[in-house]
Amino acid sequence: MSRTLALAESLISRASVTPEDKGCQTLIIERLVALGFNCTILAESGVTNLWALKRGAHGQAGKLLAFAGHTDVVPAGPMEHWSTNPFVPMRRDGRLYGRGAADMKSSLAAFIVAVEEFVSAHSEHSGSIGFLITSDEEGPARYGTIKIVEWLEARGDRLDYCVVGEPTSGERFGDTLKNGRRGSLSGVLTVRGIQGHVAYPHLAKNPVHLLAPALTDLVRVTWDQGNEYFPPTTWQVSKLHAGTSVTNMIPGSVNVGFNFRFSTATLPDELKTRTHAILDTHGLEYELTWHLSGMPFLTPRGELSSALEQAIEAETGICPTLSTTGGTSDGRFITRICRQVIEFGPCNASIHKVDEYIELSHLEPLKNVYRGVLERLIA
């Protein structure tokens, strides 16, 4: 058994459902302390965060490459739907099964073993190595990576490069790097009408009927054209509720939840203004609250993308594609203290699903890619 596989299985066996860590970071700290890392735990509101740092031969003058990830996983759901216990790692048919196998405990294991091998081969490495680990990525993300970033920011510390171990590969291992993510802006809209009996609609005002034309307009809007790196901004309804359990009552209000996934081509305030303008055009009586959970970020081609591309091609023969698709990630926080943030990890076909897995044949190449980045940037 490889050390990467052994560590991945040890992490998967800890049922660290968000925001629990369940000792994952203790295990990681034991490995890092043995390499000479200084480790700091930042715990808040039930979340466990770790910042670990090992200075290189050039001290603060050297480049700092950090690996970022999360020990928390999404809930397993009904246990009976799994082929085996999701928190008992199982090797079967060339795959390693378990909750977090792909998202993202295998990446954490690969990070650690890659650094162990690198430090063993380069005891006087020029650059520094950091680890930024949280147990609050799959949840609200209010007390996780953002808190480590704020702490580092207050100290005046910055990163030169950051590799986030999110599962980015699609059809083939190594085919995709995420060099940015779209922003996420959510809204909760309440449109008020007048409740009444369905047989006497002239005595009521149906808010669903009033809202329908506005929804049609919002669906048809072209918010922007996107740009070189991002697809056009999208608007999607995520929740719609009105009425009670009876069918003979016109509701007094309707509630709609919606979300923008937006690019760097449009600012969130522009999206808000245009949304309000459409609602106002239809003369609706409404309330609208907003929540901005993340701004879009982008890392243009540079030293980090080049190092990852070279390491992936050397290991797999594949030249990866740069992409900004998918949901948000903690990269949106890390960009505050690091100009070059790129995500790379295993295939994402099974993440958040029953019987989540990683191909066993991908574990060592994943570790080798991470080591290859260290070799190219801070040896």
Preceding peptide of 19 cis, ω within 30°: yes
Residue 228: active-site member = no
Is 270 labeled as ligand-binding? no
Is 356 labeled as ligand-binding? no
Is 124 labeled as ligand-binding? no
User: Strand 196-197 vs strand 249-250: parallel, antiparallel, or unpaired?
Assistant: antiparallel
What's the CA gap between 230 and 263, in Å, rounded? Answer: 6
Q: How far from chain centre, in Å, is Cα 314?
A: 27
Question: Pick the catalytic residue: 9, 117, 136, 137?
Answer: 137
Is 93 labeled as ligand-binding? no
Question: Pick the catalytic residue: 72, 136, 359, 375?
Answer: 72
Torsions phi, psi for 56 (to 5 deg): -90, -175
Is 138 labeled as ligand-binding? yes
Residue 157: active-site member = no
The three-state (H, E, C) secondary structure of the chain, written as one string? CCHHHHHHHHHHCCCCECCCCCCHHHHHHHHHHCCCCEEEEEEECCEEEEEEEECCCCHHHCCEEEEEEECCECCCCCHHHCCCCCCCCEEECCEEECCCHHHHHHHHHHHHHHHHHHHHHCCCCCCEEEEEEECCCCCCCCCCHHHHHHHHHHHCCCECEEEECCCCECCCCCCEEECEECEEEEEEEEEECECEECCCHHHCECHHHHHHHHHHHHHHCCCCCCCCCCCCCEEEEEEEEECCCCCCEECCEEEEEEEEEECCCCCHHHHHHHHHHHHHHCCCCEEEEEEEEECCEECCCCHHHHHHHHHHHHHHCCCCEEECCCCCCCHHHHCCCECCEEECCCECCCCCCCCCEEEHHHHHHHHHHHHHHHHHHCC
User: Strand 249-250 vs strand 64-70: parallel, antiparallel, or unpaired?
Assistant: unpaired
- Annotated catalytic residues are 72, 137
Instruction: Give the annotated binding-site residues.
Output: 70, 103, 138, 166, 352
Instruction: Give the annotated binding-site residues for Zn(2+).
Output: 70, 103, 138, 166, 352
